[in-house]
A and B are shown apart, each in its own frame.
Chain A
Amino acid sequence: MTTPPQLSARDLRKEFGGGRRGEPVVAVDGIDFEVARGGALAIVGESGSGKTTVVRMMAGLETPTSGELLLDGAPLVHSGRGAEARLARARRIQMVFQDPYSSLDPRQTIGDGLAEILRLHGIADRDACEEVALTQLRRVGLDQRHLSMRPGSLSGGQRQRVAIARALAVDPEVLILDEAVAALDVSIQAQILNLLNDLRAESEVTYLFVTHDLAVAQQVTDTAIVMHRGRVVEEGTTDAVLTDPQADYTRRLLDAVPHRGWKPRRRLAASA
Chain B
Amino acid sequence: MTSTGLVTPSPRRARRLRSGQPARRSVLRQDRVALGLTIFLGLLVLVALLAPVLAPYAPDETDILAASQGPSGAHLLGTDALGRDLLSRLIYGTRLSLLGPVVVIGVATVCAVTLVLSSVWIGGRYDRFVGKALSVLFSFPGLILAIVVVAIVGAGITGPIVAFSIAFIPYIARVLRPVALRERSMTYVNALEMLGVSGWTICVRHLLPNIFPFVRAHVTIALGTALVDLAAVSYIGLGVQAPAAEWGLQISTGQADLLAGKPWESLTACVAVLVVVIAVNILGERLAAAAQKEGR
Inter-chain CA distance A156–B24, complex, in Å, is 18
A-contacting 9-mer, from B29-37, B142-150, B187-195, B285-293: B187-195
Contacting residues, chain A, for B15 (C-beta < 8 A):
153
Pair A106/B296 contact, Cβ less than 8 Å: yes
| B24 interface neighbour in A60, A103, A150, Cβ under 8 Å | A150
CB-CB under 8 A from A37, the residues of chain B are none
Q: List 18 A-B contacts (CB under 8 A).
A: A59-B190, A61-B190, A83-B196, A83-B198, A93-B194, A95-B190, A95-B191, A95-B194, A99-B187, A104-B191, A105-B206, A105-B210, A107-B206, A107-B209, A120-B195, A121-B196, A152-B21, A153-B21
Residue of A nearest to B19 (CB): A153
The contact of B296 among A87, A93, A95, A102, by CB within 8 Å, is: A102
Contact flags B87-125 to A (C-beta < 8 A → 1, else 0): 000000000000000000000000000000000000000
Contact B19 A152 (CB under 8 A): yes
Across the interface, do B209 and A116 meet the contact criterion of CB distance under 8 Å? no
Which residues of B have CB within 8 Å of A153? Answer: 15-16, 19, 21
Asked if B186 is an interface residue, CB under 8 A from chain A, the answer is: yes
B189 closest partner in A (C-beta): A105
Assuming the contacts A94-B194, A97-B187, asked whether A154 and B19 have C-beta atoms less than 8 A apart, the reply is: yes
Contact check, A101 vs B198: say whether CB atoms are below 8 A apart. no
Across the interface, do A90 and B206 meet the contact criterion of CB distance under 8 Å? Answer: no
A167 to B190, CA, bound (A): 12
Shortest CB distance B6–A (Å): 22
What residues of chain A have their CB less than 8 Å away from a CB belonging to chain B? 59-61, 83, 86-87, 89-91, 93-95, 97, 99, 101-108, 116-117, 120-121, 150, 152-155, 163, 166-167, 170
B16, B186, B188, B198 pick with most chain A CB within 10 angstroms: B188
| Cβ of B197 under 8 Å from chain A | yes
What secondary structure prevails in chain B residues at the interface with A? helix
Nearest opposing residue in chain A for B12, CB measure:
A153
- Asked if residues B210 and A86 are in contact (CB atoms below 8 Å), the reply is no
CB-based nearest B residue for A86: B196
User: Which chain B residues border A106 with CB–CB below 8 Å?
Assistant: 188, 210, 296
User: B20 — nearest CB in chain A belongs to which residue?
Assistant: A152
Give the residue of B19, B195, B206, B296 whose beta carbon is less than 8 angstroms from that of A166: B195
Q: How large is the interface on B (under 10, 10 to 19, 20 to 34, 35 or more residues)?
A: 20 to 34
Complex Cα distance, B201 from A121, in Å, reads 14
- CB-based nearest A residue for B185: A102
The 3 A-B pairs at the shortest CB distance, nearest first, are namely A90-B196, A152-B21, A103-B187
Binding site for A on B (CB under 8 A): 15-16, 18-19, 21, 24, 186-188, 190-192, 194-198, 205-206, 209-210, 296
Give the CA-CA distance A53 to B69 in the complex, in Å.
79
| Alpha-carbon gap, A86 to B18, bound state (A) | 38
Alpha-carbon separation in the docked complex, A106 to B24 (Å): 10
- What residues of chain B lie closer than 8 Å to A59, measured between beta carbons? 190, 194
Which residue of B is nearest A96, CB measured?
B191
Q: B18, B196, B206, B210: which contacts A170 (Cβ < 8 A)? A: B196
The docked-state distance in angstroms from the alpha carbon of A93 to that of B16 is 35
- In the assembled complex, the CB of B117 is this many whole angstroms from the nearest CB of chain A, namely 15
Given A95-B191, A166-B195, is A102 in contact with B186 using a C-beta cutoff of 8 Å?
yes
A108 and B24 contact, CB distance less than 8 A = no
Q: How far is the CB of B163 from the nearest CB of chain A, in Å?
A: 36
**A105–B196 touching, CB < 8 Å:** no
Query: How far is A43 from B210 in the complex, measured between Cα atoms in Å?
Result: 34
Chain B residues with CB below 8 A from A87, complex form: 196
Of A90, A101, A105, chain B has the most CB atoms within 10 Å of the CB of A105
Which of these, A86, A105, A152, A170, contacts B188 with CB under 8 Å? A105
Q: Are B24 and A116 in contact (CB under 8 A)?
A: no
